[in-house]
Amino acid sequence: MAEKIDEKKVTPRSQDFAAWYNDIILRAELADYSPVRGCMVFRPDGFAIWEALRDELDRRLKATGARNAYFPILIPQSFLQKETEHVEGFAPELAVVTHGGGKELEEPLVVRPTSETIINHMFAQWIRSHRDLPMMLNQWCNVVRWEMRTRLFLRTSEFLWQEGHTAHATREEAEEETLKILEVYRTFVEDFLAIPLVVGRKSAAERFPGAVETYAIEGMMGDGRALQCGTSHFLGQNFAKPFETRYLDENNQLQYVWQTSWGVSTRLLGAIIMAHGDDQGLRIPPTVAATQVVVVPIWRKVDEGDKVLAAARTALEALERAGIRVRLDAREGLTPGFKFNDWEMRGVAIRIEIGPRDVAAGEAVLARRDMKGPEAKSKASLASIAENAKSLLDEIQRSLYAQAKAARDATTREPADYAALREQMAGEGGAGFAIAYWCGNPACETKIREETKASCRAIPLNQKIAPGKCIVCGESADERAYFAKAY
Amino acid sequence: MAEKIDEKKVTPRSQDFAAWYNDIILRAELADYSPVRGCMVFRPDGFAIWEALRDELDRRLKATGARNAYFPILIPQSFLQKETEHVEGFAPELAVVTHGGGKELEEPLVVRPTSETIINHMFAQWIRSHRDLPMMLNQWCNVVRWEMRTRLFLRTSEFLWQEGHTAHATREEAEEETLKILEVYRTFVEDFLAIPLVVGRKSAAERFPGAVETYAIEGMMGDGRALQCGTSHFLGQNFAKPFETRYLDENNQLQYVWQTSWGVSTRLLGAIIMAHGDDQGLRIPPTVAATQVVVVPIWRKVDEGDKVLAAARTALEALERAGIRVRLDAREGLTPGFKFNDWEMRGVAIRIEIGPRDVAAGEAVLARRDMKGPEAKSKASLASIAENAKSLLDEIQRSLYAQAKAARDATTREPADYAALREQMAGEGGAGFAIAYWCGNPACETKIREETKASCRAIPLNQKIAPGKCIVCGESADERAYFAKAY
């Protein structure tokens, strides 16, 4: 293990963000490239983050009344063609199974890029009466969307996600569900992943193919680019009509259902890395970290080793009893400095150092990953190490959020005019969010995208502001929108 | 909901086992057929069983040191061809992606039927030194094996499973791992799913394509047919050699790793249904049940309703606080008898009935699903309802195991000669296990399979028995084997 770690050098984040991103993923063994074009491999340290994230979000989604189910990965090609915009949006990205069991299939099957179509086919059979509504299902699964330009976690041909699909008796109820899930996503990503968000609806150009309205949560990454972290769609009756998903209302009249769909994916791992990481490597929020605390025993003389190791093991057990995910790094032949760098790279929130003098004093040093220099270190009594670590983990979770928010706020601008917007977005890299009045005309949005490479990320909900002038055309505008260069 | 339930009639198990099996799955809403040939849909009540089962097995597998990872679903076709037996075994069952992103692919990709090949490709990059071993990974995922004759849960083109893959420095360590996981599977299925098992190694004919040795756990279903419930394979160096999965040993010599792979699938849901179900429907072991207890309030006069409902809600809360998965059935317009049948069909372990006289007496009736007639009912004080239900759930778990074991033992025979074996296996249906000496000659096994339709299910390990004579050829035989007609 040691040799391999030594071999890999990590590009500093400040020097080349994209290279840094790939380097730390490989170096911290979160993931790897696969021999299949566009597909990636999730290694245990990366997958453990996904598991922690998934379990918590699953709990929150179930609390809204959604239940988990599972639908086939293979979908008849004809199903996708039933909704015009849907097939236009997904056709270029499909992986198609043409042969099965040694024979050419009569009808090709697509590997699901999303499951609105096959789920509507089933909903149409399960939903008969208003008493069957609302029907709220979710599935955790893999999807495939053929990608030519891929990036680990952010854009891969296969990715893992959850997709929720609901059917309701009324438009109002479906719209309410769309926004309720958006709020579940917002609180989950802000609280649990420590990533501050901008929330709002998407412009027509950025809408999910087949949706009436798409809402999104958008995070700001360390390089000034925005990342869409989750979407919630109000589908209206766009799928209900072609699939004949209908119910008998209380007056015995057949009505089409109103629907929603919503999802977050393994892209969130990319968000965690890019929102929190620094030149030293990952900084994983304690809530989702596979390892929250590492104990590093330090000694030189052989006769000191036993006492130090015994104290480290006692600390380890106390931390484990307190429910903290902790590891002891008793690897031999590696210097403390090497180990410190290694665990910093892997983003472990707290490093506990225990040396001979600490043992004598009944103390240990706690070094927090979210800070640098002498302030990052504090001493704690070995007797109360678990309580100390526990409250420090909470503090680090809050601190990572605060740091990410400060970084985002520092780059968020309100350009006075179009020239200022162009200036903000000039250059190769990202440039933070620009908040500006937009009249809603797609032509103005297109002009911004073509001339500044920034896209409309979100139009905040319930804006209580006076009308202004569109930053592009100067016409009257009721709303402001967030623009940014994005992943 | 009520209308739909009424429409579906269930074939008695005793009349037609296969029809009964499909009927109760559809009627209890565990699953449904899909529009895609051979694929099924897991509905929430079925998927919840899978989730409970998965979470518990995941915990047990992680306790052995295995960690979860995720590998691509698409595998280059050439990878499968690297191991001769492997490709011969799986070629007839492959689903093949020939087009991606609107273009024909240079090399077709197969949808994974199992992942030994792609995982070995990655292992070969990750494993360099003996310090990287053992490497023990597991993944929960979907796999596709094209099936022409499908049956819900038991045999579907797509299914969900976990597949563990490990690499070790020595043959002994890999063999030990193979048997360790076999034991994890055995205790899990016996304790958690309440299904008694026969455990042993497979004959060469029943081996996993590419394995040196395959071990299995085999359950006996209610119709006298055996069901393979999980397998653990010792792969030797069969994959390590073509994929060049090697490590530097302590003497700096390159050595091939020794490997294992092992899996259980959603087929286990079929095992639960077929091992425990009866004419009235499902009987789900409390450990894996989405609903363990249902509370049914019963009243006629309007003025009694409030008191009964209040008592039912108090009981519900007490049960919830005790960590019991409980539901209140306060549906209106349905008779108690209808509700009783409905929950019996769905296999809920305990039904708690509360009527006006019960409320007055501070009592409730507990009816257990694992028994019939007056013995199935007992009274409990409302004040101690949670403790009563909790201990009754434990008792029901044990009772379901005992009943399944008694049923299996009652049909297990030790035929004195080949004629007796033929007689046991005669007829259309299953006939339980036959234990018989077998010389190990594949010709004798083939004769049994062709003439009786029974196959060799398992050869128990460490048989401490005197040699006997092969039931087919009469030659000397050191071991006895279990034969049965199987799914």
CATH at A339: 3.40.50.800
Q: Does A324 lie in the same domain as A261?
A: no
- Whether B468 maps to a domain, the answer reads yes
Greatest alpha-carbon pair distance for chain A in Å reads 86
- Whether B249 maps to a domain, the answer reads yes
- Whether A413 maps to a domain, the answer reads no
SS3 B81: coil
Q: Which residues of chain B have pLDDT under 70?
A: 1-8
AA letter at A363: E
Q: Does B245 lie in the same domain as B119?
A: yes
> Model confidence over B219-250: pLDDT tens digits?
999 999 999 999 999 999 999 999 999 999 99
As for the ipTM of the complex, it is 0.96
> Model confidence over B251-309: pLDDT tens digits?
999 999 999 999 999 999 999 999 999 999 999 999 999 999 999 999 988 889 999 99
Please answer yes or no on whether B67 and A44 come within 8 Å at the CB atom. Answer: yes
Q: Does B371 lie in the same domain as B467?
A: no
CATH at A161: 3.30.930.10
Q: Which of A30, A34, A126 has the most B C-beta neighbours within 10 Å, making it the best mutation to test the interface with B? A: A34
**Domain boundary, last residue among A247, A276, A305:** A276
Please answer yes or no on whether B96 and A98 come within 8 Å at the CB atom. Answer: yes
The reported pTM is 0.96
Q: Does B477 lie in the same domain as B386?
A: no
CATH at B428: 3.30.110.30
Q: Does B323 lie in the same domain as B224?
A: no
Which among B93, B101, B121 has CB closest to A35?
A: B121
- Whether A144 maps to a domain, the answer reads yes
Q: What is d(CA A200, CA A463) in angstroms, rounded to the nearest whole number?
A: 10
Closest-CA residue of chain B to A42: B70
Phi, psi of A313, deg, nearest 5: -70, -40
Q: How many helices (H) and strands (E) does chain A have?
A: 15, 24
Q: What is d(CA A246, CA A237) in angstroms, rounded to the nearest whole number?
A: 10
Q: Which of B58, B74, B156 has the most A C-beta neighbours within 10 Å, making it the best mutation to test the interface with A? A: B74
The torsion of the CA quartet B383, B384, B389, B395, rounded to 10 degrees, works out to: -160
Q: Does A223 lie in the same domain as A301?
A: no
**Neighbouring residues of A377: CB distance < 8 A, sequence distance ≥ 6:** A365, A366, A367, A368
**Domain boundary, last residue among A213, A243, A276:** A276
Q: How far apart are the CA of B190 and the nearest CA of chain A, in angstroms?
A: 26
* pLDDT value of position B5: 47
Please answer yes or no on whether B148 and A42 come within 8 Å at the CB atom. Answer: no
Q: Does A250 lie in the same domain as A114?
A: yes
Please answer yes or no on whether B47 and A70 come within 8 Å at the CB atom. Answer: yes
- Whether B356 maps to a domain, the answer reads yes
Q: Which residues of chain A have pLDDT under 70?
A: 1-8
* DSSP, residue by residue, A451-478: HH--EEEEB-SS-----EE-TTT--EES
Q: Does A271 lie in the same domain as A199?
A: yes
| Total domains present in chain B | 3
Which residues of chain B does A76 touch, with a Cβ-Cβ cutoff of 8 Å?
Answer: 35-36
* pLDDT value of position A51: 98
* pLDDT value of position B1: 39
> Model confidence over A172-185: pLDDT tens digits?
999 999 999 999 99
Which among B32, B71, B95 has CB closest to A97?
A: B95
- Which residues partner with B233 through β-bridges? B214, B261
Instruction: Evaluate whether A227 touches A250 at the Cβ level (below 8 Å).
Output: no
Q: What is d(CA A325, CA A304) in angstroms, rounded to the nearest whole number?
A: 27
Q: Does B128 lie in the same domain as B14?
A: yes
SS3 A123: helix
**Domain boundary, last residue among A276, A304, A326:** A276
Closest-CA residue of chain B to A149: B101
**Neighbouring residues of A2: CB distance < 8 A, sequence distance ≥ 6:** A331, A333, A334, A338, B131
Q: Does A265 lie in the same domain as A164?
A: yes
Closest C-alpha among A345, A301, A343 to residue A326:
A343
Going from the C-alpha of B232 to that of each of A12, B158, B180, B479, the distances in angstroms are: 45, 20, 9, 21
Closest-CA residue of chain A to B40: A72
Closest C-alpha among B99, B148, B35 to residue A97:
B99
Closest-CA residue of chain A to B140: A141
Q: What is d(CA A162, CA A116) in angstroms, rounded to the nearest whole number?
A: 13
Q: How far apart are the CA of B74 and the nearest CA of chain A, in angstroms?
A: 7
| Strand pairing class (A135-144; B67-68) | unpaired
Which among A47, A97, A129 has CB closest to B111?
A: A97
Closest-CA residue of chain B to A95: B100
Q: How far apart are the CA of B443 and the nearest CA of chain A, in angstroms?
A: 29
Closest C-alpha among B455, B444, B452, B453 to residue B482:
B455
- Whether B285 maps to a domain, the answer reads no
Q: Which of B79, B97, B248 has the most A C-beta neighbours within 10 Å, making it the best mutation to test the interface with A? A: B97
Q: How far apart are the CA of A447 and the nearest CA of chain B, in angstroms?
A: 28
Q: Which of B8, B47, B265 has the most A C-beta neighbours within 10 Å, making it the best mutation to test the interface with A? A: B47
Please answer yes or no on whether A72 and B41 come within 8 Å at the CB atom. Answer: yes
Q: What is d(CA A122, CA A257) in angstroms, rounded to the nearest whole number?
A: 13
Q: How many other C-beta atoms are found inside a 10 Å radius of the C-beta of residue B383?
A: 12
Closest-CA residue of chain A to B106: A37
- Which residues partner with B381 through β-bridges? B363
Phi, psi of A132, deg, nearest 5: -85, -5
Q: How far apart are the CA of A108 and the nearest CA of chain B, in angstroms?
A: 10
Q: Does B121 lie in the same domain as B193?
A: yes
- Which residues partner with A455 through β-bridges? A484
- Per-residue b or e along A332-344, where b marks 16 or more CB atoms closer than 10 Å to that residue's CB: eeeebeebbebbb
Which residues of chain B does A36 touch, with a Cβ-Cβ cutoff of 8 Å?
Answer: 72, 74-76, 109, 118
Q: How far apart are the CA of B202 and the nearest CA of chain A, in angstroms?
A: 26
| Strand pairing class (B197-201; B213-220) | antiparallel
Which residues of chain B does A146 touch, with a Cβ-Cβ cutoff of 8 Å?
Answer: 100-102
* pLDDT value of position B8: 61
Q: Does B356 lie in the same domain as B320?
A: yes
Token duo for residue B298: 């019963």
Query: For residue A89, what is the enclosing H or E element?
Result: helix A84-90
Instruction: Evaluate whether A238 touches A212 at the Cβ level (below 8 Å).
Output: yes
Please answer yes or no on whether A34 and B102 come within 8 Å at the CB atom. Answer: no
Q: Which residue has the tokens 């209380």?
A: A250
Closest-CA residue of chain A to B127: A1
Structural domain for B310, as ranges: 291-408
Closest-CA residue of chain B to A117: B35
- Per-residue b or e along B276-306, where b marks 16 or more CB atoms closer than 10 Å to that residue's CB: bbbebbbbbbbbbbbbbbbbbbbbeeeebbe
Instruction: Evaluate whether A103 touches A120 at the Cβ level (below 8 Å).
Output: no
Q: How far apart are the CA of A73 and the nearest CA of chain B, in angstroms?
A: 8
> Model confidence over B399-439: pLDDT tens digits?
999 999 999 999 999 999 999 999 999 988 899 999 999 99
pLDDT, chain B, mean: 96
Phi, psi of B338, deg, nearest 5: -60, -45
Which residues of chain B does A92 touch, with a Cβ-Cβ cutoff of 8 Å?
Answer: 101-102
Closest-CA residue of chain A to B146: A101
- Whether B413 maps to a domain, the answer reads no
- Which residues partner with B483 through β-bridges? B434, B456
Which residues of chain B does A34 touch, with a Cβ-Cβ cutoff of 8 Å?
Answer: 71-72, 118, 122
